[in-house]
Structure formats: structure tokens, C-alpha cells
Structure 1
């Protein structure tokens, strides 16, 4: 009887730990955004959620977007799934030669991050904090997802992607991504308000 009680107590303790971890992760995703992004991508000033394409999650290669004061063409879309969580990354081209991407996570709130590649960065992930460009970033999360790519990428159409995410202050982000067996791709990100993004309709959508 004592053995049974001990086993039940141990199982309950494990269950409590799992629930706490899941709740903590959900809260981290929700509170990582600086106070004021309205839920489900509904911006007080309109913007991405009211786009003619139905929102940034539905962007496809060939679409055009305006982020703040710069125009981009969507050259590719990468859709990622990790467990019951999914997100999208749109590769952007602005004719500058610099690699940009827009990540879109539609969770408790719509999270949009504009990423700019840092090909010359020599830092690697794993440490609790990382210094880059005079800014200190703190570890936020690590994981591995499966992806499906469409459009102009240098990737297989499907595969796996490992990542480490860091953040600094309310809006600054730092990411490390490795697709398949490749080395880390480093990028710095800037958290956007949905109103920062305007989607240009394609001729077919007008």
C-alpha cells in the first residue's frame, strides 16, 4: 500500500511539473511582447490584420509588403511546426542584397518580428546571455521544428530546423537557426506593431 501511495505521489509531482512548464512557456510567449499589442492581430490603427490578403499568415511568394517606410517583395515562405505550435517565416527582398525575413506567430496575440541577417557574426548559441553589436541578449527559448518551404530558398522543400531565441529589452530579438545539418544562421530582430505592416494586394486580389 505504501508503495502504491508513493508511486501516485511521484506521478502527481511529475504531472504538476509538466503543467508548470507548459504554463510558463505560454506566459513567456504572451508577455515577451511589449504591453500594447492587441490580441489576435487586431491593431487599433488597422494594418496587417485588415489586409486584402487576410493577414500576414497568408502571404505567399510574389506578394509585396510595406514595413514601416520600406517596401519588400515576398520571395519565399517557410511554415514551421513544433508540437502543437506553428509559425510562418516570409523571406523578403528589397533589392539591397541584405537578407530579411518576417516571422509571424498567431498565438494569444499576433507577434510580428522583422529579422535582418548578421552573416558576419561570430557568436554561437547556448550561453544564458550573448553580447552582439553593443547589446546584451538573454536566452528565451530553444527547440526544433519541422518545416515546409515554398518559393526561392536554398533549402530542401521539407526538413527540420533547430533554433535558439534571445531577446533584449522589450522589442530587440536575436535568433540562431540551423536548417538540416547546416551551420547557424544569425539574425537580429525588431518586434513590430501590426500597424507597422501593410500588405499590397496582388493584381489577382484587387
Structure 2
């Protein structure tokens, strides 16, 4: 039997090995391409945007940009005024919703949380002198004074300054009137209020809890 050329047989083996390696690399590249393309085409899973927010809000951390729901209506906090009367601090927040604007006062009175919603009353011509009659109810002064304030966002006041106030209430405390003057020479702003409980409001803070 005739034998082939030994040199030709030896040279064919390296060539075969190279082809096998190239084929393996091509297969790996193809698989990687398919996997990466599949990942890119798959939409990202949706996540809960409120997952990092607490279910129980902190009334003292309400601020500009927060969403407050009251009586089924959402309001945006447009501005916040922080008031200081000789170390006693309270805040007033301007809420803007589909039914108009109102103010929310948040304060601690001897350790008890007090929150009140206020609506401006135009054209009453009332001033805080003696008893005040509004909506056929007699209101008597319960406190008055002056305070320093700073404002952020939209409030309609100066960025800072001093203000005067006088608070009135009916005998059963169901009727509330607030008189406020934010600058010298300014007429009194009159608002009527209603006390609200913490559970009546739902608050979504504009940023994650600190």
C-alpha cells in the first residue's frame, strides 16, 4: 500500500486545530450577541415611586413641594412661613388645590399638636378690636402678639420681617378667626379656620425621609 507524504499529514493538523478554535470563537460571539440583544430589548420592571416614603407623615416636616390631600382633594404646598415669637415656633403653609387656596397652620401647644386650615375672607372690613361678629357668631380674642418670620416659596409676603396677629374664637371653639398684618401700614388680613386632626390629612413629602 502506498503511504502519503508525512510532511503533508503533519501540516494538516495545525490547520484543523485553527479552524476549530475559530469556529468556537464564532459560536461564543453569536451567543453573546443574542443574550445582550435580549437584555436590551427587555423593558425595565416598573417600581413603586413611593416605596421609600413613610406611610405616617411628620407634620413638622411639611414643606414646599409636598402634596397634601384633604377631603379627597390634592393640594400642593406652594410656600411656607416659619414664625418665631420669643422662641415659640410655628409654621403656616400655603396650599393650592382645585378648589382654591388655603393655609395650614402647624404648631405644638404645650406638647399637643394643633393643625388648622384657614380660608381668606375678603371684604369683611373687620379689625381686632373688642368682640367680633362674623357669620352671625360672636368671636372673642384669645391671644395676640408679634412675631418674626421667614418665608420660602410663594407666600405673598416679604422673605423675612415682623408681623402682627390676633386670634379669635367662639365660645365653643368651633368658629375661628385669624387677623394678620405682614407689614407696617398694611390692612388686616382676615381668615376663618377649622381645626383638623392628623388623620384627616394625607401627606406625601417631596423628598425621601431624612
Q: Rate the CA distance shift 1:125–1:133 in 2: closer, same or farther, 3 A.
A: same
> Residue 83 of structure 2: SS of its match in structure 1?
strand
Equivalences, count? 154
Query: 1:186 aligns to what?
Result: 190
Find the counterpart in structure 2 of residue 6 from structure 1.
none
Which position in structure 2 is the counterpart of 1:119?
A: 122
Q: Tell me how far 1:153 sits from its aligned partner.
A: 2.1
Q: Deviations over 1:109-167 (max 9, x none)?
A: 0000000000121111121x211112211110010000000001222110011001001
1:110 pairs, out of 88, 107, 113, with 113
- 1:77-96 to 2 correspondence within 5 Å? 77-96=80-99
Give the match's secondary structure for 1:99: strand
Q: CA deviation at 1:172?
A: 2.3
- Which of 167, 170, 180 is equivalent to 2:169? 167
Q: TM-score scaled to structure 1, two decimals?
A: 0.69
Aligned to 1:151: 153
Alignment partners' CA distance in 2, 1:62 and 1:71: 12
**In 1, distance between residues paired with 2:199 and 2:174?**
15
- Aligned 8 A contact 2:57 2:203 in 1: no
Of the three residues 59, 63, 71, the one matched with 1:56 is: 59
Hey, what does 2:138 align to over in structure 1? 136
For residues 51 and 116 of structure 1, the distance between their equivalents in structure 2, rounded to whole angstroms, comes to 29
In 2, the alpha carbon distance for the partners of 1:184 and 1:51 equals 39
State whether residues 179 and 190 of structure 2, in contact with CA within 8 Å, keep that contact through their aligned partners in structure 1: yes
Local SS of the residue matching 1:119:
coil
**Alpha-carbon contact 1:78-1:150 (below 8 Å) kept:** yes
Structure 1: stretches of 5+ with no match in the other structure:
1-49
Q: 1:187 to 1:55 in 2, by over 3 A?
A: same
- Of structures 1 and 2, the one with the larger relative CO (CA 8 A, separation 6+) is 1
Q: What is the CA–CA distance in structure 2 between the aligned matches of 1:183 and 1:51, rounded to whole Å? A: 41
Tell me the equivalent position of 1:199: 203
Contact between 1:60 and 1:74, CA under 8 Å: does it hold in 2? yes
CA distance in 1, matches of 2:104, 2:96: 11
Q: What's the C-alpha RMSD, in Å, of the aligned pairs?
A: 2.0
Per-residue deviation, 1:70: 2.5
Q: Structure 2 residue aligned with 1:71, among 61, 71, 74?
A: 74
